[in-house]
Amino acid sequence: MRLRSLELNNFRAFPDGGPAISLDHDAVLLYGRNGVGKTTLFDAIELALTGTIRRLHHALDSPVLMNVRRDSAPASVRLVANGSIAARAGHADISLQRLLN
């Protein structure tokens, strides 16, 4: 499977979405100072592929996945990948309403 793109909206360190992050390269290098969202990208990929984040399994039922500046707005993760079959997309939509029910 090859990851093609990742879109985040209001997910943890990424408040307003923005353009999709291209992952369609032979190597992708992530660098930056602490707290800018490097681990969030890996969390988003894991959530879109598996429906959970193993290191945060205890917190998946809390608003920790939403950006703190907009914690009442829903969050979403969309990942596009392909492999031996046609392109597929995985996604997760997180909202405070869903977490409270």
Q: Domain residues for 13? A: 2-100
Q: Which amino acid, 98? A: R
| Percentage of the residues of the chain whose pLDDT score is greater than 90 | 15
pLDDT of residue 67: 65
E-only strand ranges, the chain = 2-9, 21-22, 75-82, 88-94
Among 82, 75, 76, which Cα is nearest to 5's?
A: 82
**3-state secondary structure (DSSP) of residue 93:** strand
What residues in the chain have per-residue pLDDT under 70? 58-64, 66-72, 83-101
CATH of the domain at 38: 3.40.50.300
Please tell me what DSSP assigns to residue 11.
B
pLDDT of residue 80: 85
Report the number of distinct structural domains present in the chain.
Answer: 1
pLDDT of residue 61: 56
Query: Is-above-0.85 flag for pTM?
Result: no
pLDDT of residue 33: 95
